[in-house]
């Protein structure tokens, strides 16, 4: 027994010395209301440096406030934030796409409490409205993107398509001509894989005058939506899209477009930079997204900043930081560097001549948004992402939409 | 467990004290393990069970008790039958194929030949790499457009054009199973290889002298010695393969619907796409009970913890 | 004559086996060769259609630049991973060895229950446990520390280590212990001088198994370690995956680099694993 004690003492000691290396000590955020935690997703490989620069400049001006930055990839940020909320340890400021889930759980400060009236008044009206629930604004629209049709000029020329399609029928015919080339290229890139299927589907549904909601109610399987999805399936069944559209994610699909193997696809502002980087020789153009009747339309998406109430002690520090972030210089640099569209009036003015985003800024006023203020939208979006692609695997559109509706109502 | 039942029926009279004392004597040896498990694992496990009985919002806020609602909701998923079927095929297929290939591979690597050390090192690499990265690189190499494996098959003339291995449920599921076998092979092979070191050459030689054929020697001498190693390897593989998320998540992640899902990837989809942690927790509890039952049956049938 | 022919035949078989071995090695290395080659490509070339087997332009500098990317502080991530894995493995060994030995060599009431309990820890889904773990460490105040991750890794990798070593202890003939005891050695002496060297292959298997599992752990690190410098490679690598574009050349290069230490570890212990019993204690 004695020997055993000696052994266990040795083991315990060993364990202790080993774990000692784990005691790095950590500066616990103290409850002084001056230490802010900021959780953001990574938009590009420059995001981390950009935020670090902004925070360093901010802390130089406000030496009493410390901002702790945490960056996560888009794949992981939802898991991270949910875990923090579950543990009642939400960050003070969060940058993410949808705010409504947090707002409806009463976790967020109303925007008016965490930015100055000047900052608040600077947001463009459509974005401010899209960031409000029942007239109260919770999200701070931070960056926006819009979609537009990218087309491969060379392929369209070769196929004898003289102008980019404006209606569904023209798109169908153009894609058919591309297919008839028999050149191993595809007419239209339709990404219905789980990455962003809701965006592609929304474009078709909005392009048919359809909608995901009527007032507070999520309505996935209404007749207009069904008609739009039916047409998508027609394109797929006729072989006018890339193979297996139901399982094609957007990013890889756009890579195929960039490599010149897809004639037409819907892209977004960062696509311009990616073409320049990966295949600068590509001859391409952009045009409004085809709709059923040719009426121009685009999908607008805004990401938001939001402030969590937590224990309520940090409101002033949060306000100082957010006002700093949305000040003209700082904000312009952020939006400009990430290559997105501004959501503020001053930002739009400052960037109106940037040629990469001009074509997007033009379509932005007519943009339609996801019903992201609806608390059921997040679940609906998840269901669209995981289900809609089944129309590419022979499933009946009506049945797929009904399945999504069931998830939305769950 | 069966050992325990053998012990239990003697709690009367004087034999009760030795049993008690035996336990007391064992405890110090087990205490470090028990302490670590109780302090680290107990709470999160209990928290999972607790969450499965709560109504948790998509943001993560607890809205109050939900009784068994989450479990009831599970039963209403139409795809449940397919998912359970997939799970059975997934676990049984991967574990069996892994075992058979490993037995052959370990036997081969036990022979002396030039460069054996390097081959052994090569076999270990899939184990050293993270499963996520291995799956990712397979996914990339099997892409119908820019995938190098696909291009290789086209250049060999086996395919006319790149095939969407990862784009349709059945091929993607089969490919995922192959990847799962691939990443399970190193550990299994090495466990068996280590077991093979316990086979004494003298015994084999003696058997050969007696005129026993290679097949018979393997069956009657080698396999019995390998038994504990195989039993543990299979046990660990069952658990790991059952709980494996990254392979299917990567290889079949872009495929819509639930045709290529196991119960484990379904948990993940509940969290990631439906944002229903409560439901995911309920399914995790069910998942846990299923593995526990499978392992219980396995242990009862094979009794790998039998001594000697 | 006959002997010579036999020896050339044996020689030919040796080389045939070597050729088969090379084929096996190629199969096992194939995906990592894709990774390796990809890590030398330019960013733009990785997604070219049709793909190139070899880079048109070799960029070895990916391996230099990846240490100072804007996405993640990779040197810190490597150190972090090393410390967590190393300490985690040591802790597992210290804790699991006595349990494995005792359960293999002694019968006592509750032994089966104990082994099953240990095993049950491995049947839980890490993704779903992560919230509870985070909460637990937050309450104790050691979230975002290496200590937390060392404990997590140790606790969740304990079971396989116990089971692997248990099976090797159990596989030992009882006569060896008894002979040593009869020579007057105490239980601990027997354990240290006789039993441990004999089960060395099992211990090595357990070490590798644990180390690799610690090395690649992801789900818990993701939520428990929030500071970029503390995060292990498995989390760091995800930072190269952007919203619209991913730095695949870095993803591949970092993956290759993260495989290397484990392969080195393996190369170090492999000989002992193989030598094992043949070194000759069993007589």
- Amino acid B238: pLDDT: 94
Same domain, yes or no, for A385 and A316?
Answer: no
Contact A73 C244 (CB under 8 A): no
Same domain, yes or no, for C143 and C192?
Answer: yes
- Amino acid B305: pLDDT: 53
Contact B114 C252 (CB under 8 A): no
| Helices and strands (H, E) in chain C, number of each type | 13, 0
Output the 3-class SS for A175-238: HHHHHHCCCCCEEEECCCCCCCHHHHHHHHHHCCCCCCEECCEECCCCHHHHHHHHHHHHHHHC
CA B49 to chain centroid, in Å, comes to 22
Same domain, yes or no, for C86 and C210?
Answer: yes
Whether pLDDT at C29 is above 90: yes
CB-CB: which of A14, A26, A259 is closest to C144? A26
Same domain, yes or no, for C139 and C191?
Answer: yes
- Amino acid A19: pLDDT: 45
What number is the average pLDDT over the span C45-72? 89
Could you read off the pLDDT of A38-83 as tens digits, one per residue?
Answer: 999 988 878 899 999 999 999 999 999 999 999 988 888 988 999 9
User: Which contacts of B3-6 are long-range, i.e. CB under 8 A and separated by 24 or more positions?
Assistant: B3/B305, B3/B306, B3/C107, B3/C111, B3/C112, B4/C109, B4/C110, B4/C111, B4/C112, B4/C113
Could you read off the pLDDT of C178-192 as tens digits, one per residue?
Answer: 777 777 777 777 777
Q: Which of residues 96-135 of A touch B (CB under 8 A)?
A: 101-102, 104-105, 107
End-to-end CA gap in chain A: 61
Same domain, yes or no, for C160 and C82?
Answer: yes
Which chain C residue is nearest to residue B133, measuring alpha carbons?
C255
Whether pLDDT at B79 is above 90: no
Whether pLDDT at A106 is above 90: yes
- Amino acid C105: pLDDT: 83
Contact C131 A83 (CB under 8 A): yes
Say if A19 falls within a structural domain: no
Whether pLDDT at A95 is above 70: yes
For C109, the token pair is 């009431």
Domain interval for residue A70: 35-145+301-368
CB-CB: which of B59, B166, B253 is closest to A85? B59
For B234, the token pair is 């299979």
Say if C212 falls within a structural domain: yes
Contact C141 A28 (CB under 8 A): yes
What is residue B115's three-state secondary structure?
coil
Total domain count for chain B?
1
Neighbors of chain B with 3 or more C-beta pairs under 8 Å: A, C
- Amino acid A233: pLDDT: 96
Same domain, yes or no, for A107 and A168?
Answer: no
Same domain, yes or no, for C105 and C200?
Answer: yes
Could you read off the pLDDT of A305-340 as tens digits, one per residue?
Answer: 999 999 889 999 999 999 999 999 999 999 998 888
Whether pLDDT at A175 is above 90: yes
Query: Is the link from the previous residue into B214 a cis peptide, with omega within 30 of 0?
Result: no
- Amino acid A334: pLDDT: 94
Say if C114 falls within a structural domain: yes
Interchain CB contact of B256 with A (< 8 Å): yes
Whether pLDDT at C150 is above 80: yes
Per-residue pLDDT band at A3 (split at 50, 70, 90):
very low
Domain interval for residue C186: 72-279
Whether pLDDT at C214 is above 90: yes
A6 versus A245: which is more confidently predicted? A245
Which chain C residue is nearest to residue B280, measuring alpha carbons?
C128
Say if C211 falls within a structural domain: yes
Same domain, yes or no, for C117 and C225?
Answer: yes
CB-CB: which of A83, A89, A278 is closest to C47? A278
Q: Give the minimum alpha-carbon distance from A24 to chain C in angstroms, rounded to a whole number.
A: 7
Same domain, yes or no, for C158 and C273?
Answer: yes
CA dist., res. C238 & res. C234, Å (int): 7
How many interchain CB pairs under 8 A, A with C?
134
Whether pLDDT at C279 is above 50: no
Say if C214 falls within a structural domain: yes
CA dist., res. C196 & res. C100, Å (int): 12
Q: Which of residues 187-206 of A touch B (CB under 8 A)?
A: 192-195, 197
- Amino acid B161: pLDDT: 84
Could you read off the pLDDT of C153-163 as tens digits, one per residue?
Answer: 999 999 989 98
Say if A5 falls within a structural domain: no
Whether pLDDT at A18 is above 70: no
Say if C48 falls within a structural domain: no
Interchain CB contact of A405 with B (< 8 Å): no
CA dist., res. B128 & res. B131, Å (int): 9
Instruction: Choose from B60, B159, B258 for mutation: most chain A CBs within 10 A.
Output: B60
Say if C49 falls within a structural domain: no
B159 versus C25: which is more confidently predicted? C25
Sign of the Cα pseudo-torsion (B139, B142, B146, B152, in order): positive
Contact C130 A45 (CB under 8 A): no
Same domain, yes or no, for A121 and A185?
Answer: no
Q: Which residues of A touch C56 (CB under 8 A)?
A: none
- Amino acid A216: pLDDT: 85
Max Cα-Cα span within chain B: 80
* pLDDT > 90 fraction of chain A, expressed in percent and rounded: 62
Interchain CB contact of A232 with B (< 8 Å): no
Interchain CB contact of C132 with B (< 8 Å): yes
Which chain C residue is nearest to residue B196, measuring alpha carbons?
C274
How would you class B165 by CB atoms within 10 Å of its CB: exposed for 0-12, middle for 13-18, buried for 19 or more? buried
Q: How many CA atoms lie within 13 A of A357 on its CB side?
A: 24
pTM, two decimal places:
0.86
Same domain, yes or no, for C168 and C267?
Answer: yes
Whether pLDDT at C135 is above 70: yes
- Amino acid B304: pLDDT: 57
Alpha-carbon Rg of chain C, whole angstroms?
A: 24
- Amino acid B17: pLDDT: 56
Q: How many CA atoms lie within 13 A of A18 on its CB side?
A: 25
Whether pLDDT at C265 is above 90: no
Interchain CB contact of B144 with A (< 8 Å): yes
Same domain, yes or no, for C103 and C220?
Answer: yes
Nearest of C98, B252, B147, B65 to residue A15 by alpha carbon = C98
Nearest of C209, C193, C179, C207 to residue C272 by alpha carbon = C207
Contacts of B289 by beta carbon, 8 Å cutoff, 6+ apart: none
Same domain, yes or no, for C116 and C182?
Answer: yes
Neighbors of chain C with 3 or more C-beta pairs under 8 Å: A, B
Same domain, yes or no, for A152 and A134?
Answer: no
Same domain, yes or no, for C112 and C163?
Answer: yes
CB-CB: which of C49, C223, C240 is closest to A261? C49
What number is the average pLDDT over the span B235-242? 92
Same domain, yes or no, for A227 and A332?
Answer: no
- Amino acid B293: pLDDT: 93
Total domain count for chain A?
2
Q: Which residues of A touch C69 (CB under 8 A)?
A: 45
Looking at the DSSP bridge assignments, the partners of residue A284 are A152
- Amino acid A11: pLDDT: 46
Helix %, strand %, coil % for chain C, to 5?
Answer: 80, 0, 20
Say if B155 falls within a structural domain: yes
Say if C66 falls within a structural domain: no
CA dist., res. C83 & res. C91, Å (int): 12
Interchain CB contact of A11 with B (< 8 Å): yes
Report whether C127 contacts A78 (CB < 8 A). no
- Amino acid C2: pLDDT: 60
Say if B138 falls within a structural domain: yes
Interchain CB contact of C118 with B (< 8 Å): yes
Contact B254 A248 (CB under 8 A): yes
Q: Which residues of C touch A75 (CB under 8 A)?
A: 238, 241
Domain interval for residue B75: 71-302
- Amino acid C4: pLDDT: 63
B308 versus A35: which is more confidently predicted? A35
- Amino acid C5: pLDDT: 65
Whether pLDDT at A355 is above 70: yes
Q: Which of residues 35-64 of B touch C (CB under 8 A)?
A: 36-37, 39-41, 43-48, 51
Q: Give the minimum alpha-carbon distance from B115 to chain C in angstroms, rounded to a whole number.
A: 7
CA dist., res. A88 & res. C120, Å (int): 29
Same domain, yes or no, for A248 and A214?
Answer: yes
Q: Which of residues 111-140 of C touch A (CB under 8 A)?
A: 127, 130-131, 134-135, 138
**Least confident stretch, A22-36, A110-124, A188-202, B130-144:** A22-36
Residues in chain B: 308
Q: What is the CATH number of the domain that holds B140?
A: 1.10.3720.10
Same domain, yes or no, for A130 and A72?
Answer: yes
Instruction: Give the angle B2-B3-B5 at the CA atoms, nearest 5°.
Output: 65
Q: What is the CATH number of the domain that holds C127?
A: 1.10.3720.10
Same domain, yes or no, for A127 and A197?
Answer: no
Same domain, yes or no, for A169 and A308?
Answer: no
Could you read off the pLDDT of B30-76 as tens digits, one per residue?
Answer: 999 999 999 999 999 999 999 999 999 888 899 999 989 999 989 88
Interchain CB contact of A385 with B (< 8 Å): yes
Report chain B's mean pLDDT, rounded to a whole number.
87
Q: Which residues of A touch C70 (CB under 8 A)?
A: 45-49
Contact A244 B167 (CB under 8 A): yes
Say if C179 falls within a structural domain: yes
What is residue C142's three-state secondary structure?
coil
Whether pLDDT at B4 is above 50: no
**Cα dihedral: B88, B89, B91, B94 (round 10):** 170
Same domain, yes or no, for C172 and C227?
Answer: yes
Tokens 């644990």 -> residue: C210
Interchain CB contact of B161 with A (< 8 Å): yes
- Amino acid B59: pLDDT: 87
Q: What is the CATH number of the domain that holds A51?
A: 3.40.190.10
For A66, the token pair is 């410390």
Interchain CB contact of C49 with A (< 8 Å): yes
Contact B136 C251 (CB under 8 A): yes
Per-residue pLDDT band at B14 (split at 50, 70, 90):
very low
Output the 3-class SS for C256-282: HHHHHHHHHHHHHHHHHHHHHHHHCCC
Total domain count for chain C?
2
Say if A11 falls within a structural domain: no
């Amino acid at each position: 027994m004695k020997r055993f004690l000696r052994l266990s003492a040795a083991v315990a000691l060993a364990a202790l010395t080993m774990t000692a290396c784990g005691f790095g000590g950590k500066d616990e955020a103290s409850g002084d209301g001056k230490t802010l935690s900021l959780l953001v997703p990574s938009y590009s490989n420059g995001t981390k440096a950009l935020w670090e620069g902004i925070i360093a400049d901010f802390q130089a001006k406000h030496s009493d406030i410390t901002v702790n930055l945490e960056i996560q990839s888009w794949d992981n940020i939802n898991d991270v934030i949910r875990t923090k909320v579950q543990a009642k340890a939400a960050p003070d400021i969060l940058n993410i796409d949808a705010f409504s889930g947090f707002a409806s759980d009463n976790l967020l400060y109303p925007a008016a409490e965490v930015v100055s009236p000047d900052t608040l008044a600077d947001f463009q009206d459509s974005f401010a409205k899209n960031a409000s629930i029942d007239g109260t604004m919770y999200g701070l629209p931070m960056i926006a993107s819009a979609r537009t049709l990218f087309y491969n000029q060379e392929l369209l020329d070769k196929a004898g398509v003289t102008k980019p399609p404006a209606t569904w029928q023209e798109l169908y015919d153009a894609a058919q001509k591309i297919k008839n080339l028999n050149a191993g290229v595809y007419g239209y890139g339709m990404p219905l894989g789980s990455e962003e299927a809701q965006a592609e589907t929304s474009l078709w549904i909005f392009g048919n005058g359809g909608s995901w909601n009527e007032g507070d109610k999520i309505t996935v399987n209404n007749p207009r939506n069904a008609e739009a999805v039916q047409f998508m399936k027609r394109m797929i069944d006729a072989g006018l899209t890339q193979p297996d559209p139901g399982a094609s994610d957007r990013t890889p699909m756009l890579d195929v477009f960039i490599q010149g193997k897809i004639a037409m696809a819907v892209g977004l502002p960062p696509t311009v930079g990616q073409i320049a980087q990966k295949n600068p020789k590509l001859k391409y153009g952009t045009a409004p997204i085809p709709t059923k009747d040719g009426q121009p339309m685009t999908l607008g998406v805004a990401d938001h900043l939001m402030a969590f109430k937590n224990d309520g002690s940090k409101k002033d520090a949060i306000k100082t930081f957010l006002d700093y972030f949305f000040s003209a210089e700082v904000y312009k640099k952020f939006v400009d560097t990430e290559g997105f569209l501004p959501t503020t009036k001053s930002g739009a003015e400052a960037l109106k001549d940037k040629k990469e985003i001009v074509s997007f800024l033009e379509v932005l006023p007519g943009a339609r948004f996801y019903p992201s203020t609806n608390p059921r939208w997040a679940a609906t979006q998840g269901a669209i992402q995981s289900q809609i692609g089944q129309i590419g695997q022979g499933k009946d559109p009506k049945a797929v939409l009904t399945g999504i509706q069931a998830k939305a109502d769950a | 467990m069966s050992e325990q039942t053998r012990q239990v029926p003697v709690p009367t009279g004087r034999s009760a004290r030795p049993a008690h004392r035996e336990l007391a004597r064992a405890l110090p040896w087990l205490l470090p393990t028990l302490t670590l498990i109780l302090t680290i694992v107990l709470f999160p496990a209990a928290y999972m069970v607790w969450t499965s009985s709560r109504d948790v919002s998509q943001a993560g806020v607890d809205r109050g008790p939900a009784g068994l609602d989450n479990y009831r909701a599970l039963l209403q998923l139409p795809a449940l039958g397919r998912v359970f079927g997939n799970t059975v095929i997934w676990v049984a297929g991967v574990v069996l194929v892994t075992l058979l290939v490993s037995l052959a591979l370990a036997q081969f690597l036990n022979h002396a030949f030039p460069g054996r050390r390097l081959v052994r090192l090569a076999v270990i690499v899939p184990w050293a790499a993270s499963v996520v990265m291995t799956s990712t690189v397979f996914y990339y190499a099997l892409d119908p457009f820019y995938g190098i494996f696909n291009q290789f098959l086209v250049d060999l003339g086996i395919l006319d054009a790149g095939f969407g291995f990862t784009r349709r449920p059945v091929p993607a599921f089969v490919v995922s199973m192959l990847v799962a076998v691939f990443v399970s092979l190193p550990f299994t092979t090495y466990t068996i290889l280590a077991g093979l070191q316990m086979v004494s050459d003298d015994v084999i030689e003696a058997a050969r002298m007696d005129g026993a054929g290679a097949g018979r020697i393997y069956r009657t001498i080698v396999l019995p010695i390998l038994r504990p190693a195989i039993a543990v390897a299979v046990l660990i593989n069952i658990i790991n393969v059952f709980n494996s998320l990254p392979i299917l998540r990567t290889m079949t992640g872009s495929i819509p619907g639930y045709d290529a899902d196991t119960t484990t990837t379904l948990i993940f989809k509940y969290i990631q796409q439906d944002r229903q942690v409560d439901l995911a927790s309920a399914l995790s509890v069910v998942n846990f009970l299923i593995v526990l039952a499978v392992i219980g049956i396995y242990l009862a049938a094979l009794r790998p913890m039998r001594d000697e | 004559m006959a002997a010579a022919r036999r020896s050339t035949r044996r020689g030919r078989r040796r080389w045939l086996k070597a050729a088969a071995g090379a084929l096996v090695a190629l199969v096992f290395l194939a995906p990592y060769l894709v990774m390796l080659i990809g890590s030398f490509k330019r960013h733009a070339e990785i997604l070219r259609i049709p793909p190139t087997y070899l880079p048109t332009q070799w960029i070895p500098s990916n391996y230099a630049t990846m240490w100072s990317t804007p996405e993640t502080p990779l040197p810190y991530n490597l150190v972090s991973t090393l410390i967590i894995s190393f300490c985690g493995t040591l802790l597992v060994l210290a804790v699991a060895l006595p349990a494995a030995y005792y359960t293999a060599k002694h019968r006592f009431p509750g032994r089966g229950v104990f082994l099953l309990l240990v095993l049950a820890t491995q049947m839980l889904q890490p993704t779903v446990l992560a919230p509870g773990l985070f909460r637990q460490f937050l309450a104790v105040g050691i979230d975002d520390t290496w200590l937390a991750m060392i404990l997590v890794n140790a606790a969740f990798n304990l079971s396989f280590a116990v089971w692997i070593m248990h099976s090797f202890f159990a596989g030992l003939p009882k006569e060896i212990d008894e002979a040593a005891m009869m020579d007057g050695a105490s239980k601990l002496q027997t354990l240290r001088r006789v039993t441990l060297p004999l089960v060395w292959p099992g211990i090595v298997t357990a070490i590798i198994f644990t180390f690799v599992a610690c090395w690649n752990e992801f789900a818990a690190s993701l939520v428990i370690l929030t500071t970029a410098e503390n995060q292990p490679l498995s989390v760091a690598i995800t930072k190269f995956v952007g919203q619209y574009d991913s730095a695949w050349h870095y993803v591949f290069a970092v993956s290759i680099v993260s495989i290397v230490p484990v392969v080195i570890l393996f190369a170090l212990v492999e000989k002992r694993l193989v030598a094992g019993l043949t070194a000759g204690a069993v007589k």
